[in-house]
Amino acid sequence: MQREWMTIVAHQSIASQTYLLELQGSLPQFVETPGQFVHIQVSDDFFLRRPVSIADVDSDKGTVTLLYKVMGKGTDALTRKKIGDKLDVLGPSGTGFPIDKLTTNKALLIGGGIGVPPLYYLAKNLKSKGMEVTSILGFRSSEDVFFTEKFQALGDVHVATNDGSMGTRGFVTDVIPQVDGYDTYFSCGPTVMLKGVKEQLKGVPGYISIEERMGCGVGACFACVVECADEEDAKGYRKICSDGPVFRPEEVVL
Amino acid sequence: MIDTKVDLPGLQLKNPVMPASGCFGFGREFAQFYDLSHLGAIMIKAATATKRFGNATPRVAETASGMLNAIGLQNPGVDAIIGEELAFLEPYQTPIVANVAGSTMEDYQEVAAKLGNSTVSALELNISCPNVKEGGVQFGVDPELAYTVTKLVKEASAKPVYVKLSPNVADIVTMAKAAEEAGADGLSMINTLTGMRIDPSTRKPIIANQTGGLSGPAIKPVAIRMIHQVYQAVDLPIIGMGGIETTDDIIEYLLAGASAVAVGSANFKNPYICKELIDQLPDALSAHQFSSVKEVIGGAHYQTTST
Ligand SMILES: Cc1cc2nc3c(=O)[nH]c(=O)nc-3n(C[C@H](O)[C@H](O)[C@H](O)COP(=O)(O)OP(=O)(O)OC[C@H]3O[C@@H](n4cnc5c(N)ncnc54)[C@H](O)[C@@H]3O)c2cc1C
Ligand SMILES: Cc1cc2nc3c(=O)[nH]c(=O)nc-3n(C[C@H](O)[C@H](O)[C@H](O)COP(=O)(O)O)c2cc1C
Ligand code: FES
């Protein structure tokens, strides 16, 4: 992990209130696994950094791609950054999906809203390892949908929208019964969605990526802890910013 | 050559800058950013008698020029800290200040006694944590309780004791005097100010614990005022903290009467902050025509009396 002033080389709107931000610097060469994130200091007006997942890495160009949704003041201020501007970035942070240890043949990826981004870099990695990838991507409405074609280039894609304006009407959990043949699942999205997915796919090996408000983002302040499911666990907790954000669903209490 | 050395009870500091308790863990995470031996000292995360999980999440919220936190003193317990964390820190040869916390007088005594037999250089008595249900800040807002717990901790251990004062009191000088009378070797000030934020969309406090401790530049003027008052009233060295982000902030604290400073939540914004401030301090001192740190301490008081 390092702190770096990265240069913005692309910044554009890709869906309602959703932006693609591409940052160039030396940080991309240190990304170890999909699911890791960067911690962004949007400007001096903000006291805390904002965690955003790494959605893609281009090692030739030396860039990371981030996809973010405007949720409040910090992400709103981020939209005003221009190509050529420098951004204070800490990372790569956290422990991602353990792709080197997997024995997966057929992966099921389940993403909800702004939990979709880290799954894209994961899908690319799984595909390049020769694994088959099926994705279920959930959004609020058709105008929130992004990156579905990019996922399609890597495997089957099922889209769900809450209002039915695109794909299946409902939630990702309504689509899961339509797919089969997978041996491992990977999921990122709001906690309610992860809870549903975990319940529905009990018995299937999986990995989930979870969120919490962060202080330091490096594992020092204990702001981002999640309780262990195993009451006998020696520590009893995991830090989302450093032990995670990716965990086995049975490891933590959602 | 600018002399940055400061000698305090139990602490021979090569420079007056140290990370504040709870904002630096036990140093491990920051050791990946720079060599911890650059630090004047390290104030480690609070230790309690047994392991504590802490409060529910969310535990932090951003504020204007600062943040609220309600971690709830999560720590692995004093035995694990001595066994694992102090062993990790020992090779750095940087003085360690251990933060002692508890729910009861007996807890404080037990933790202080155990740390008294460890390699730490001094104890910081945390009677000011606003985020735990019992103990913590109770001891820090009542001068009699503060006196008693300080005395007990002094009896339990031979290490110098810095009492960490809470700003959540009407009269900070009374608290400082109670600590002094009980035999404290120094003061550490200030801890966080109790605050709250409410999310308009959920109509509930953002922090699960409801209230949290405010830190960051927002509290610096409060800390400076309190140190300025206490410096005049008691004879103990003060380690000052609250919102330090620049070398001018450090000089301001020294002028108010602090002999050394701690940097807390700024470590979250910039993990290199302590090292950068230490590197920049000599030039900043000479820019203000000082040739040593010692010369700056309490400087604001000499000026006010001579004019
Ligand atoms: C590991 C991780 C990866 C993430 N990846 C992405 C991503 O790829 N794309 C994306 O759009 N969003 C992502 N998020 C969520 C994103 O961090 C928040 O939406 C963002 O911080 C909101 O900031 P704000 O200033 O706009 O909102 P405000 O509500 O004004 O933020 C105030 C404070 O709350 C924190 N906060 C608010 N919401 C969240 C949240 N959901 N999670 C964590 N902290 C929050 C902020 O960091 C800030 O400290 C991720 C969160 C985590 C923990
Ligand atoms: C996340 C967090 C955790 C803290 N934990 C402790 C603690 O365990 N013990 C303690 O005495 N003070 C603790 N503090 C208070 C700091 O040590 C310091 O007194 C305060 O934050 C003011 O300094 P700052 O504005 O530089 O952060 C904590 C502060 C923060 C932000
Ligand atoms: S955010 Fe500080 S420990 Fe995770």
For residue A88, how far is its CA from the centre of ligand 1 (angstroms)? 16
Each residue of B192-220: pLDDT tens digit? 999 999 999 999 999 999 999 999 999 99
**Which of the residues B13, B81, B129, B178 is marked catalytic?**
B129
Q: Sort strands B238-241 and B186-189 into parallel, antiparallel or unpaired.
A: parallel
- B20 to chain A: nearest residue by CA? A221
Are residues A39 and A217 in contact, defined by beta-carbon separation less than 8 angstroms? yes
Each residue of A212-241: pLDDT tens digit? 999 999 999 999 999 999 989 988 999 999
Each residue of A102-155: pLDDT tens digit? 888 899 999 999 999 999 999 999 999 999 999 999 999 999 999 999 999 999
Of the listed ligands, the closest to the CA of B265 is 2
The mean pLDDT of B121-129, rounded to a whole number, is: 91
Best residue among B18, B21, B252 to mutate for probing ligand 2's pocket (most ligand atoms within 8 Å of CB) is B21
**pLDDT computed for residue B307 by the predictor:** 46
**Distance from chain centroid for Cα B34:** 21
> Rg (Cα) of chain A, in Å, rounded?
17
Regarding the beta carbon of A48 and ligand 3, being less than 6 Å apart is answered: no
Question: pLDDT-derived band of residue B275, with 50, 70 and 90 as boundaries?
Answer: very high
Of the listed ligands, the closest to the CA of A95 is 1
Regarding the beta carbon of A212 and ligand 3, being less than 6 Å apart is answered: no
Each residue of B130-182: pLDDT tens digit? 666 666 667 889 999 999 999 999 999 999 999 999 999 999 999 999 999 99
Smallest Cα distance from A79 to chain B, Å: 19
**pLDDT computed for residue B136 by the predictor:** 60
Least trusted range by pLDDT, from B22-26, B103-107, B237-241? B103-107
**pLDDT computed for residue B306 by the predictor:** 47
Each residue of A77-93: pLDDT tens digit? 999 999 999 999 999 99
DSSP-derived 3-state class of residue A213: coil
Smallest Cα distance from A221 to chain B, Å: 6
Question: Quick check: B129 pLDDT over 90?
Answer: no
Using a CB–CB cutoff of 8 Å, tell me whether A222 touches chain B. Answer: yes
Question: Quick check: A96 pLDDT over 50?
Answer: yes
Structure tokens at B71: 């971690």
**pLDDT computed for residue A238 by the predictor:** 97
The mean pLDDT of A2-21, rounded to a whole number, is: 97
CB neighbours of residue A130 within 10 Å: 8
The secondary structure of chain B, three-state, reads CCECCEEECCEEECCCEEECCCCCCCCCCHHHCCCHHHCCCEECCCECCCCECCCCCCCEEEECCEEEECCCCCECCHHHHHHHHHHHHHHHCCCEEEEECCCCHHHHHHHHHHHHCCCCCEEEEECCCCCCCCCCHHHHHCHHHHHHHHHHHHHHCCCCEEEECCCCCCCHHHHHHHHHHCCCCEEEECCCEEEECEECCCCEECCCCCEEEEECHHHHHHHHHHHHHHHHHCCCCEEEECCCCCHHHHHHHHHHCCCEEEECCHHHHCCCHHHHHHHHHHHHHHHCCCCECCCCCCHHHHHHHHC
**pLDDT computed for residue A234 by the predictor:** 87
Q: Specify whether B274 is catalytic.
A: no
Residue whose structure tokens are 């404080």: B108
For residue B268, how far is its CA from the centre of ligand 3 (angstroms)? 9
Q: Work out the percent of chain B whose per-residue pLDDT is above 70.
A: 95
Q: Work out the percent of chain A whose per-residue pLDDT is above 70.
A: 100
Sort out which chain A residues have CB atoms less than 8 A from B271's CB and list them: 3, 90, 216, 218
**pLDDT computed for residue A183 by the predictor:** 93
In the beta sheet, which residues pair with residue A13?
A19
Residue whose structure tokens are 């701690």: B262
Q: Do A221 and B57 touch (CB under 8 A)?
A: no
Question: pLDDT-derived band of residue A253, with 50, 70 and 90 as boundaries?
Answer: very high
CB proximity under 8 Å: A 115-134 to B: none
Regarding the beta carbon of A225 and ligand 3, being less than 6 Å apart is answered: no
Using a CB–CB cutoff of 8 Å, tell me whether A226 touches chain B. Answer: yes
What is the overall mean pLDDT for chain B? Answer: 94
Each residue of A18-53: pLDDT tens digit? 999 999 999 999 999 999 999 999 999 999 999 999
Question: pLDDT-derived band of residue A97, with 50, 70 and 90 as boundaries?
Answer: very high
**pLDDT computed for residue A51 by the predictor:** 98
The mean pLDDT of B263-268, rounded to a whole number, is: 98
Using a CB–CB cutoff of 8 Å, tell me whether A216 touches chain B. Answer: yes
Q: Backbone phi, then psi, for A100, in 5-degree steps?
A: -75, -20
**pLDDT computed for residue A104 by the predictor:** 82
For residue B297, how far is its CA from the centre of ligand 2 (angstroms)? 23
A80: Cβ–Cβ under 8 A, 6 or more apart, which residues? Answer: none
Each residue of A172-197: pLDDT tens digit? 999 999 999 999 999 999 999 999 99
In the beta sheet, which residues pair with residue A11?
A21
